[in-house]
Amino acid sequence: MTVTHDDLTLDWFGYATLRVEGPDGTVVYFDPGRYGCLTGEWTPDTEGVGHPPATDYDARDGDVVCVTHDHHYDADGIRRVADEDATLVVYDAVDAAGTGRGPAPEDLDYEVVRVDDAADLAVGNAVVRTVAAHNLPDGPRAGDDGSVPHPEGFGCGFLVTLGERTVFWPGDTDVLDGHAELGVDVFCPPIGGSFTMDRHEAADLAAELRPELVVPIHYNTFAALEADGRGFAGDVASAGVPVALDER
C-alpha cells in the first residue's frame, strides 16, 4: 500500500523504514533496515498484526537517507535504498562499531553529513531539520533508577521538507516539550510504546499538531511494539485529523 497526500507518496516497509517521494521525484528514506523488513525475513510474533510484509527490497533510489540513532543503523539497509549519489544524514552519536551492523557511514560509498539535534540544512532539493529525541527520565519508559532506552543525546528526530510539505518522523522518543509547536504537514509517529510514545500519547500529539495527514509507523514489528493501529486511527480521526494506515 502506498499512501498519497497531494504531491507526496509515502511507503512504510516495516519497523522504522519509511520512504517519502516529493513532487520533483526526490526520494528520502528514514531509518532503513533491520529485522528482515527489507530482506524478506520478517515474520510476525503474533498472527493478525497490521504490519507491512517483509520484501526483498533493493531499489537504490534514495537521494537522502536519514538515520536517527544506533538502534536504527543498518549498513545493508542503507545500501538497499541509497542511490549511488545519495547523501546520508546521520545523527552525531551513531556509532556503527557498537551496533555490529556493518561499517561506519563514512566507510560507505556516499556523502555523509553528521548532524546534532538542532540542524537545519539543504540537501539537494530537500530541507532537513532535526529535533531532540529521547525518553524522559521521569517518564513512562523510565526504570526505577531513571534509566531509559533512549537517553538524551542518543538520537534525533527529522523534519524533511519536499516541495511545500514537511514530513515529521520523531524518531524513538517520548512526546517532548516543543513537539506540539512544530510546523508539520505529515506526521509519522511511532506508536509501539515500550521504547517510544504509545498510541494514546501519539494521538494526543497529533491532535495538538493538527497536521494534514497522520501515518503511524514503528509498531507491530515484534511483541514489544504491538499496538492497535486501528484504535489509534480512530482516536486521531475523532479529533478531526486525517489518518492513513499502511497495514497490509
**How does residue 8 score in pLDDT terms, banded at 50, 70 and 90?**
very high
Q: From the CA atom positions of the chain, what is the Rg in Å? A: 16
User: Residue 36 sits in a domain of what CATH number?
Assistant: 3.60.15
> How confident is the model at residue 247, as a pLDDT?
84
Q: What is the pLDDT of residues 156-179, one digit of tens each?
A: 999 999 999 999 999 999 999 999
Q: What is the pLDDT of residues 53-62, one digit of tens each?
A: 999 999 999 9
Is a pLDDT exceeding 90 seen at residue 1?
A: no
Distance of CA 184 to the CA centre of its chain: 14
Which pTM value belongs to this model? 0.97
**How does residue 47 score in pLDDT terms, banded at 50, 70 and 90?**
confident
Q: What is the pLDDT of residues 198-229, one digit of tens each?
A: 999 999 999 999 999 999 999 999 999 999 99
> How confident is the model at residue 68, as a pLDDT?
98
In a domain, 220, yes or no: no
Closest alpha carbon to 67 in 22, 40, 42, 101: 101
> Around Cβ 126, how many Cβ atoms within 10 Å?
23
In a domain, 143, yes or no: yes
In a domain, 152, yes or no: yes
Which residues, other chains included, contact 234 with Cβ-Cβ below 8 Å and sequence gap of 6+?
A: none
In a domain, 226, yes or no: no
Contact 94, 117 (CB under 8 A): no
**How does residue 246 score in pLDDT terms, banded at 50, 70 and 90?**
confident
Distance (Å, rounded) from C-alpha 17 to C-alpha 211? Answer: 21
Is a pLDDT exceeding 80 seen at residue 46?
A: no
Q: What is the pLDDT of residues 79-135, one digit of tens each?
A: 999 999 999 999 999 999 999 999 999 999 999 999 999 999 999 999 999 999 999
Contact 86, 111 (CB under 8 A): yes
Distance (Å, rounded) from C-alpha 162 to C-alpha 147? Answer: 37
Backbone phi, then psi, for 24, in 5-degree steps?
A: -95, 10
Is a pLDDT exceeding 90 seen at residue 44?
A: no
Per DSSP, which regions of 124-191 are E strands? 126-133, 155-162, 165-169, 186-187
Pairing relation of β-strands 8-14 and 186-187? unpaired
In a domain, 211, yes or no: no
Contact 215, 247 (CB under 8 A): no
Backbone phi, then psi, for 86, in 5-degree steps?
A: -70, 155
Total domains present in the chain: 1
Contact 229, 220 (CB under 8 A): yes
> How confident is the model at residue 69, as a pLDDT?
98
Mean pLDDT across the chain, nearest whole number? 96
In a domain, 14, yes or no: yes
What range defines the domain where residue 69 resides? 3-165+174-183
> How confident is the model at residue 242, as a pLDDT?
97
> Dihedral (C-alpha) 65, 71, 76, 80: value to the nearest 10 degrees?
-40
In a domain, 228, yes or no: no
